[in-house]
Amino acid sequence: MLDDLKQQVLEANLRLPASGLVTLTWGNVSGLDRDRGLMVIKPSGVPYDRLRAEDLVVLDLESGRRIEGSLNPSSDSDTHLEIYRAFPSAAGVCHTHSPAATAWSQAGRPLPCFGTTHADHFYGEIPICRTLTPEEVTAGYERMTGLAIVETFHHLHLNPAAVPGVLQHGHAPFTWGPHALSALDNSIALEMCARMALDTLALNPDAAPLPQHLLDKHYLRKHGPSAYYGQGHH
């Protein structure tokens, strides 16, 4: 019954190494069947070149219990679950340690929107999420990571559908989207924007973020009710 979802989650995970976003097994993608409340995710530590659809693990969104699969789910599963529980627009989550986005995470700095490439994908700066306290790490590191991401979006009054990514301070990026492959695309876009931002600041340390009217133009021509980019969906 989850064959299509498993196939898409498998494909998204297999694309991670080819996309240049992951080294070794430093990344995972999940997908959600929201109607049935089931998440499909990569098993923990299995090399991408050995991954098959039947290896994927199915977890219950409400309880987090394993419904299908004999392998242990990704160690980041609880983070994915908290993102899905809080962000209704998300039905795919991607987590990588891609170098440029991780550099911003490690520096503890949000990623400014310096240009229209960034604005095409994200409606403004990518927020930085606080580090966890010692108590939170002990209480349930991965779940608390997810709750801290959700807290960041509430605190900043951000729409997770318009800014589908976050940088975890000292850790790495998480992105999401309406399905697994879109979450992966957002990770690819985030990494490119992070790399270009590093180059921008190297060339001009005083570079200013993109003005609001250009951010609005570029984001809204691709997203939202009046979008006119592309061929439309007939």
Domain assignments of the chain as residue spans, ordered by start? 3-222
Residues of the chain with pLDDT under 70: 1, 25, 224-234
Q: Provide the b/e sequence for 71-101 (b: ≥16 CB within 10 Å).
A: eebbebbbbbbbbbebbeebbbbbbbbbebb
- The pLDDT value recorded for residue 1 is 64
Per the annotation, the verdict on 48 as an active-site residue is no
Per the annotation, the verdict on 4 as an active-site residue is no
- The pLDDT value recorded for residue 220 is 85
- Could you name the CATH architecture of 3-222? 3-Layer(aba) Sandwich (3.40)
Q: Please give the Cα distance from 125 to 109 (Å, whole number).
A: 10
- The pLDDT value recorded for residue 226 is 63
Q: What is the pTM of this model?
A: 0.91
Q: Which residue in the list 33, 55, 60, 120 is annotated as catalytic?
A: 120
